[in-house]
Amino acid sequence: MSQILTEPRPTGTSFRQTVHSLAAAQKVAAPGAPPYSVYINRRAGRYLAAACHRAGLTPNAVSVVSAAFTFTGIGMIAFGNLSWGLGIAIWLCLAVGYAFDAADGQVARLRGGGSLSGEWLDHVVDSAKLSSIHLAVLIAAYRGFDLSTPLWLLIPLAFCVVAAVSFFSMILNDHLKEIHTLKTGTVPVQGSGSRLKSLLLIPTDYGFLCLTFVLLGAPPVLMALYTVVFAANLGHLILASVKWFRDMGRLDASCRASENTPSQARHALVTGRPLQ
Q: What is the DSSP string of 164-229?
A: HHHHHHHHHHHHHHHHHHHHHS-PPPPPP--HHHHHHTGGG-HHHHHHHGGGGGSHHHHHHHHHHH
Residue 3, in any domain of the structure: no
CA torsion, ordered 266, 267, 269, 270, to nearest 10 deg: 120
The pLDDT value recorded for residue 265 is 47
Residue 276, in any domain of the structure: no
> Are the CB atoms for 256 and 263 separated by under 8 Å?
no
Number of domains composing the chain:
1
Cα R_g (the chain), whole angstroms: 22
Mean pLDDT of the 16-23 span: 67
Distance, CA of 211 to CA of 34 (rounded, Å): 14
Instruction: Give the pLDDT band (50/70/90) at residue 221.
Output: very high
The pLDDT value recorded for residue 193 is 63
Instruction: Give the pLDDT band (50/70/90) at residue 24.
Output: low
In angstroms, the Cα distances linking 104 to 27, 63, 64, 204 are 13, 6, 9, 22
The pLDDT value recorded for residue 64 is 95
The pLDDT value recorded for residue 13 is 66
The pLDDT value recorded for residue 27 is 60
Please tell me what DSSP assigns to residue 266: H
Question: Comparing 104 with 8, which gets the higher pLDDT?
Answer: 104
Mean pLDDT of the 106-129 span: 87
Instruction: Give the pLDDT band (50/70/90) at residue 87.
Output: very high
The pLDDT value recorded for residue 262 is 56
The pLDDT value recorded for residue 123 is 92
State pLDDT tens for residues 25-81.
556 555 567 788 888 888 898 889 888 888 888 999 999 999 999 999 999 999 999
Residue 1, in any domain of the structure: no
Residue 90, in any domain of the structure: yes
What rounded mean pLDDT belongs to the chain? 84
Instruction: Check whether 249 has a pLDDT greater than 70.
Output: yes
Residue 123, in any domain of the structure: yes
> Range of 222's domain?
12-271
Instruction: Check whether 219 has a pLDDT greater than 60.
Output: yes
Instruction: Check whether 114 has a pLDDT greater than 80.
Output: no
Distance, CA of 245 to CA of 250 (rounded, Å): 9
Percent of the chain at pLDDT > 90 equals 50
Residue 5, in any domain of the structure: no
Instruction: Give the pLDDT band (50/70/90) at residue 197.
Output: confident
Instruction: Show Cβ contacts of residue 204 under 8 Å, excluding neighbours closer than 6 positions.
Output: 34, 232, 233, 236
Residue 6, in any domain of the structure: no
pTM over 0.75: yes
CATH code (residue 31): 1.20.120.1760
Residue 233, in any domain of the structure: yes
Distance, CA of 105 to CA of 125 (rounded, Å): 13
Per DSSP, the three-state class of 145 is: coil
Distance, CA of 91 to CA of 267 (rounded, Å): 53
